[in-house]
Structure 1
Amino acid sequence: MSSTPPSASPPAHGLNLAQQEAVNYMHGPCLVLAGAGSGKTRVITHKIGRLIQAGLPPQEIAAITFTNKAAAEMRERAKKLIGQPARGVLICTFHALGVRMLRQDGEVLGLKKQFSILDSDDVTSILKDAGGSTDAATARQWQWTISAWKNSGLNAAQAEAQAATDEDRLVARVMARYEERLTAYQSVDFDDLIGLPLKLLREHDAVRDKWQASMGHVLVDEYQDTNATQYEVLKLLVGARGRFTAVGDDDQSIYGWRGATLDNLKKLPLDYPQLKVVKLEQNYRSTSAILRAAN
């Protein structure tokens, strides 16, 4: 990483050469490897503007990130850079995208449009009932295990089939009863907002074709924080054309506790041999002393 002092700023036109390369590559899959302070959000917002300039309708562009705060910041920056057309771009979290997909097409999975989204306390309460327990700590332990299975793409039957211990088999059976209750209550939990959209895209061709047609280009921020299920959703959204830009830092993943895996960075060039890789190595935030120590 370059040791440019924090007072330095990008060139007058707003982008350095590597950033320009990432922004101007629009016709296939692109991975932008970028450390903190190297202008990741700048690349995403400028690329949104470049796609619109090239004729892609704003409503066919999606920018996905991990927190509501990050999505709000990106929306604001896109609005300042692009103006009115930015309003048409879908800028949201993975989970907000999942809600949108399920509200539109969840009926093919038996979900009514007015399904409810459970918070953590609701989940704990239902798990206590499903497992015949009055102990909240036990129910929370089940909740973490079930969440990990869901983020790995497993349902209750699959979890039980691969269970290595009696405890895991017990939790898998609790998970099966929990799934039955969610269906009866017309409810989903936080993990379902990724898992059920994946089921939609995998098992329903018409739904998958519709969403792929609506996604002219997908941009994913903090790509290193995706888990296995989110990566599968991304692949099915972009289809064989692979029109996406993934921006991530291969040295930094903060969501390992919920299944985030750097394996997704390694899978990209295997799944997309035509992948364009751009490295942002200019740092605009840290002093040269900090960078020398970090390197």
Structure 2
Amino acid sequence: MSAARRDDPRDDLSVAREVLTTEAAGLRALAASLGDSFADAVARLATATGRVVVSGMGKSGLVGRKIAATLASTGTPALFVHPAEASHGDLGMIIPGDAVLALSNSGETAELADLVAHARRFALPLVAITGRPDSTLALAADVALILPRAAEACPMGLAPTTSTTMQLALGDAVAVALLTRRGFTAADFQSFHPGGRLGARLRRVRDLMHTGHAVPVADPDMHMAAALVLMTEKRFGCLGVRDADGRLVGIVTDGDLRRAMGPDLLSRRVRDIMTLSPRTIGPDALAAEALHVMNARERPVTALFVVADDQQPVGILHVHDLLRAGLA
């Protein structure tokens, strides 16, 4: 290939599109090939009382590390054991109660031999992901998930590309099937992802809201002179209005004050200028949902009152709380 051709961005785009098209075809073939063996593999992994031990060599090992991480973060205890290290002491990490998920496209990876023998010795469930149904690994496994024949995406057909993409996607399918079986929820997910933006999105409103004396609330008959002092003191830019039963029935915001501005404002009562039926949220809602409610409709708001099932205010959440949490 000439230097001019290598430097042509059009050729780069053509190559990239061909790679993605080839790998997409492999994924479609993989989806069509799934059957009872997949359900059997998931069932065996689900019944493990210990961990799912993932192993593979080379590119399959790199894919295996990601599969193990995905399993662990979605409710299936898992770890990656390097097959070469397993033969030098790390087999001790694999104990009764564990299940083994072994990856090898050829199914003849020599470094997996000791790990496979260890799994057979202790009668551990062994699931294989391989491209050859007649390979040593496939025949030794309790269940073999066979990758369909598909062209590798490199022009020589040698570099693991489509095959590793299929391995990775099949690992994701196993992980999602297992989390579905376990009834894994967003709350469970958050407990495994407490850090970063994802952790913030999965936090609950109750974790971020202000409570007690910090909540700005008043009765409908309060004079606006006193209400303004209270709004200024609480610093949320709003004031919740409770009825005689303690239920939140209205809100006074900076916008309400501007609309009611006049010489008699301080002598008027809260009920005269409040907005009825303010936007609210429950304490068990996700922080991400609170952000959506704040941004919903034609006019975004910067604060939400948090109410219990009986509509009594139990807290308040400001957009700055979401910013500090790394969400907004």
TM range (shorter): under 0.3
Structure number with greater Rg is: 2
Greater strand share, structure number: 2
TM-score by length of 2: 0.24
Higher RCO structure, 1 or 2 (CA under 8 Å, sep 6+): 1
TM-score, normalised via structure 1 length: 0.26
Higher helix share: 1
